[in-house]
Amino acid sequence: EIVLTQSPTTTAASPGEKVTITCLASSSVSNMYWYQQKSGASPKLLIYSTSSLASGVPDRFSGSGSGTSYSLTINTMEAEDAATYYCQQWSSNPLTFGSGTKLEIK
Amino acid sequence: VQLVESGGGLVQPGKSLKLSCSASGFTFSSYGMHWIRQAPGKGLDWVAYISSSSGTVYADAVKGRFTISRDNAKNTLYLQLNSLKSEDTAIYYCARRDYGGPLDYWGQGVMVTVSS
Is B44–A44 a contact, with Cβ atoms under 8 angstroms apart? no
Whole-angstrom distance, CA of residue B80 vs CA of residue B22: 15
Instruction: Judge: B46–A49 Cβ closer than 8 Å, yes or no.
Output: no
Distance CA A34, CA A41 (A): 16
A31: CB partners within 8 A, 6+ apart: A48, A49, A50, A89, A91, B101
Give the number of C-alpha atoms closer than 13 A to the C-alpha of residue A72, restricted to the C-beta side: 31
Question: Which residue intervals of chain A are DSSP H helices?
Answer: none
Please give the average per-residue pLDDT across A93-106, as a whole number. Answer: 97
| Mean pLDDT across A74-89 | 98
pLDDT value for A24: 98
Q: How close does chain A come to B74, measured CA to CA in Å?
A: 24
How confident is the prediction for chain B on average, in pLDDT? 97
The whole-chain average pLDDT of chain A stands at: 97
Q: Are A73 and A81 in contact (CB under 8 A)?
A: no
Q: Which of residues 13-72 of B touch A (CB under 8 A)?
A: 34, 43-46, 49, 57, 59-60
Average of per-residue pLDDT across A21-31: 97
pLDDT in tens, B21-60: 999 999 999 999 999 999 999 999 999 999 999 999 999 9
Mean pLDDT, range B54-69, rounded to an integer? 97
Assign B101 a pLDDT band (cuts: 50, 70, 90).
Answer: confident
Instruction: Report the 10 Å Cβ neighbour count for A62.
Output: 18
Q: For residue B100, what pLDDT is reported?
A: 77
pLDDT at residue B99 in the model:
83
Per-residue pLDDT at A18:
98
From CA B27, how far away is CA B1, in angstroms rounded?
Answer: 10
Digit-coded pLDDT (tens) for B78-96: 999 999 999 999 999 999 9
Q: How far is A90 from chain B (nearest CA, A)?
A: 8
pLDDT 10s digits, A38-80? 999 999 999 999 999 999 999 999 999 999 999 999 999 999 9
At A14, is the pLDDT very low, low, confident or very high (cuts 50, 70, 90)?
Answer: very high
Model pLDDT, residue B9: 97
What is the model's pLDDT at position B18?
Answer: 98
